[in-house]
Amino acid sequence: MVEKNGKIISIRISVRKGVKENRVEGYLRENYGFEGDIHGGPGERQVSLFIKESLDKLKRDGVKIGCAGFGENLMVSGVAFSDLTPGTNLKAGDAVLKITQTGKICRKPCGLYDSVEDCRLSKLGIFAEVIKGGGLKIGDAVEVLDGV
């Protein structure tokens, strides 16, 4: 059973267009996103998240995709996708995020869509804005604060 609290499994930061680097730790700046991420800035999609259990289910269903197939900043485990609805606050490390969006529209269908004719991967992505900055590292706790 998936709990409402979990942990950070991976951290990835875009260092240039199309290139994400794995990090052991990072700093989320309020109303910006990850320091050093070229996609950082104001808006509702400052940080992208994906739930490891969602990725595991896709793999069990035969979808061939690796970790960070969504291009997420944070992979978290132990939190249910259904608990992260827009408006929910989430504590990750020392930072607090506010969930702003679940799912996204694929602008151009990829090989995954072509093979299964359904982009479940994009439906499972989660976006957030940073409402309280702070540091975080792999293994840090992730806690659903409200909204559930």
Domain with residue 28: its CATH number is: 2.40.33.20
Burial of 129 (0-12, 13-18, 19+ CB in 10 A): buried
Domain count, the chain: 1
41 within some domain:
yes
- The string of pLDDT tens digits covering residues 73-131 is 999 999 988 888 999 999 999 999 999 998 766 665 555 445 544 555 567 889 999 99
147 within some domain:
no
135 within some domain:
yes
pTM for this one?
0.83
148 within some domain:
no
110 within some domain:
yes
58 within some domain:
yes
The two beta strands, 47-51 and 74-77, are parallel
Mean pLDDT of the chain: 84
How far from chain centre, in Å, is Cα 3?
Answer: 17
Domain range enclosing 64: 5-86+94-142
Please give the pLDDT value at position 118.
53
49 within some domain:
yes
Evaluate the CA torsion angle 6, 14, 47, 93 in order and state its sign.
positive
| Enclosing H/E stretch for 134 | strand 134-137
Helix ranges (H only) for the chain are 52-60, 111-116, 120-123
> Rounded to 5 degrees, what are φ and ψ at 3?
-90, 175
